[in-house]
Amino acid sequence: MSSTVPEYTELLGRATGLVASRVTSVTQPFSGASRAELQRLVDDVDLEASGVGTAEALREVDELFLEHAIWFHDAAYAAHLNCPVALPAVAAEAILAAVNPSVDTYDQSAVGTLMERRLIDWTAARIGFEHGDGVFTSGGTQSNLHALLLAREWTLARHGGARAEVLPRMNILATASSHFSVEKSALILGLGDDAVVSVPDDGEGRMDAAALAASLGAIRAAGRIPMAVVATAGTTDRGVIDPVAAIAEHCDAHGVWLHVDAAYGCGLLVSRRHRNLIAGVERARSVTVDFHKSFFQPVSSSAIIVREPDDLRAAAWHADYLNPLENEEPNQVDKSLQTTRRFDALKLWTTLRALGADRIGEMFDEVIELARVVGDEIAADPELELVGRSQLSTVLFRVRPEGADEQAQDALVAQVRRVLFESGRALVAKTVIDGRPCLKLTLLNPEASVSDIRHVLDLVKDAAAALVDLRDVEVVA
């Protein structure tokens, strides 16, 4: 109602004002409040009470959420694959929240559907698909599930036979470094417990293409059915890229669906410097792209892109109230696993228009370069140990303070992460590589400098040294 316009303007101004003043004043990525304290603050809010008015509710949100939010734009945030956001996308998010279109049917979105389709075509063209198609999703997890569903149906159709008989014999091939959503998808898709076959890697986390050929042969020889090969273009931990072109060669030879999970590495599609790293992606049958990772988009913004538009039909379902057969309207619900669906494409659209594709690619290039330089510094630091090299923007390392043997170094990983998190001064992640824990930086902030990350590493070393000292005291005591 137009009578709400003054209130709308006032409230959005107030909301942006609150965020702006927090962003101006925060000096670290997290307040460091304890979980008990946060739980108490959350529990203290009486959700059964009568309304306090929007201004007061926003004031509370400021005190509760903004005060204790994790700030991804802070240069000392270096933990997970969640990025600081491009401002044009933030503005677009405000627009789409207010308009609230749903891109499931054309008659709920009109030009929005056409804009999303245009971006799908644009992404497909960047991949190198001549007549690709696809749909926006909630994230890489959903995109991978969707792709593997299409692969299952495609394989089933080619193989013939009863679903109940064929499904337990299907295999998905991926490396141990592939995203866990591959295993989860296999479960959801009703495949057997042992459906996901781990293809050996080259020792640095990249799929060994010759080993893939051997695995495909072995699966066939055992009377099983290779349903899909998942190549990861940017593994979540090491940030390395499977040799897509060589993998595609074997998939073609065996007539197997190739899915490329480029949730992390999709930013390479707009990188002039590093596009070659995903050469061969155009030979995939489906590709996952997470714009909310390397395109600096707010969550959520992801897509599944397919090379053959007809493949999408496997997920189409008829509902009388949604997609009447007599009209020709482009209803995206026919392509999606979701029904009501956000117009996330508006954010990417606005960002592309505001910055241009090259600039987004440069932003990704900048964090790749930052990771390379930080990797060099870690390699040269006797107190730290670099664990492998990333092709993208992660950095894996261990801290080895004086007096800490290997076992102590392993134990320090989780402790250091926790100490930093509890201080709120720097956020880093941890993972396990080749059976040993290590710390992980995921660098996605193009504005973070080498000295910003050096500061994070100093905090890591200080925390480790303090923990070692503490242990000595305990031993003495």
Ligand X SMILES: *Cc1c(COP(=O)(O)O)cnc(C)c1O
Touching ligand X, residues 233-252 (CB under 6 A): 234, 236
Touching ligand X, residues 55-94 (CB under 6 A): 81
Smallest separation, CB 19 to ligand X (Å): 23
Smallest separation, CB 338 to ligand X (Å): 14
Label the pairing between strands 257-262 and 225-232: parallel
**Which residue, 421, 416, 419, 422, is CA-closest to 401?**
416
Considering the complex, state which of residue 22 and residue 184 has its C-beta at the smaller distance from ligand X: 184
Considering the complex, state which of residue 360 and residue 468 has its C-beta at the smaller distance from ligand X: 360
Label the pairing between strands 286-290 and 302-306: antiparallel
Smallest separation, CB 146 to ligand X (Å): 11
132 lies in the site for ligand X, by CB under 6 A: no
Q: Determine the 3-state secondary structure of 197 from DSSP.
A: strand
Q: Which of 109, 113, 215, 232 binds ligand X (CB under 6 A)?
A: 232
Smallest separation, CB 265 to ligand X (Å): 8
From 240-248, 258-266, 414-422, 446-454, span contacting ligand X (CB under 6 A): 258-266
Q: Determine the 3-state secondary structure of 227 from DSSP.
A: strand
297 lies in the site for ligand X, by CB under 6 A: no
267 lies in the site for ligand X, by CB under 6 A: no
Name the residue with the smallest CB distance to ligand X. Answer: 140
**Which residue, 264, 254, 291, is CA-closest to 181?**
264
Q: Determine the 3-state secondary structure of 287 from DSSP.
A: strand
291 lies in the site for ligand X, by CB under 6 A: no
Considering the complex, state which of residue 248 and residue 384 has its C-beta at the smaller distance from ligand X: 248
**Which residue, 398, 460, 453, is CA-closest to 423?**
460
From 60-68, 256-264, 347-355, 456-464, span contacting ligand X (CB under 6 A): 256-264
Smallest separation, CB 234 to ligand X (Å): 6
From 229-237, 276-284, 339-347, 456-464, span contacting ligand X (CB under 6 A): 229-237
In sequence order, which residues have a C-beta less than 8 Å from that of residue 85 and are 6 or more positions away? 72, 73, 296, 297, 298
Q: Which of 108, 109, 113, 141 binds ligand X (CB under 6 A)?
A: 141
**Which residue, 393, 439, 396, is CA-closest to 418?**
439
**Which residue, 429, 433, 392, 425, is CA-closest to 414?**
429
In sequence order, which residues have a C-beta less than 8 Å from that of residue 280 and are 6 or more positions away? 243, 244, 245, 246, 247, 248
Smallest separation, CB 99 to ligand X (Å): 24
302 lies in the site for ligand X, by CB under 6 A: yes
Q: Say how far apart CA 200 and CA 156 lie, in whole Å.
A: 26
397: part of which helix (H) or strand (E)?
Answer: strand 394-399
Q: Which of 261, 282, 311, 452 binds ligand X (CB under 6 A)?
A: 261
| 99: its two tokens | 């308009």
# of chain residues touching ligand X (CB under 6 A) = 15
Considering the complex, state which of residue 183 and residue 381 has its C-beta at the smaller distance from ligand X: 183
Smallest separation, CB 257 to ligand X (Å): 17
Looking at beta carbons, which pairs linking 337-342 to residues 24 or more positions away fall under 8 Å?
Answer: 337/137, 337/142, 337/145, 337/146, 337/149, 338/104, 338/137, 338/138, 338/142, 339/104, 340/102, 340/104, 341/102, 341/103, 341/104, 341/136, 342/96, 342/102, 342/103, 342/136, 342/300
Q: Which of 263, 352, 419, 448 binds ligand X (CB under 6 A)?
A: 263
Q: Say how far apart CA 441 and CA 430 lie, in whole Å.
A: 8
Q: Say how far apart CA 211 and CA 444 lie, in whole Å.
A: 32
Q: Sketch the per residue contact string, 160 through 179, with ligand X: x for CB under 6 A, - otherwise.
A: -------------------x
Q: Determine the 3-state secondary structure of 41 from DSSP.
A: helix
Smallest separation, CB 154 to ligand X (Å): 21
207 lies in the site for ligand X, by CB under 6 A: no
290 lies in the site for ligand X, by CB under 6 A: yes
From 68-76, 133-141, 153-161, 425-433, span contacting ligand X (CB under 6 A): 133-141
Q: Sketch the per residue contact string, 450 through 469, with ligand X: x for CB under 6 A, - otherwise.
A: --------------------
188: part of which helix (H) or strand (E)?
Answer: helix 181-188
Give percent helix, percent strand, percent coil of the chain, each to the nearest 5.
50, 15, 35
Smallest separation, CB 302 to ligand X (Å): 5
Positions in the binding site for ligand X (CB under 6 A) = 81, 139-141, 144, 179, 181, 232, 234, 236, 261, 263-264, 290, 302
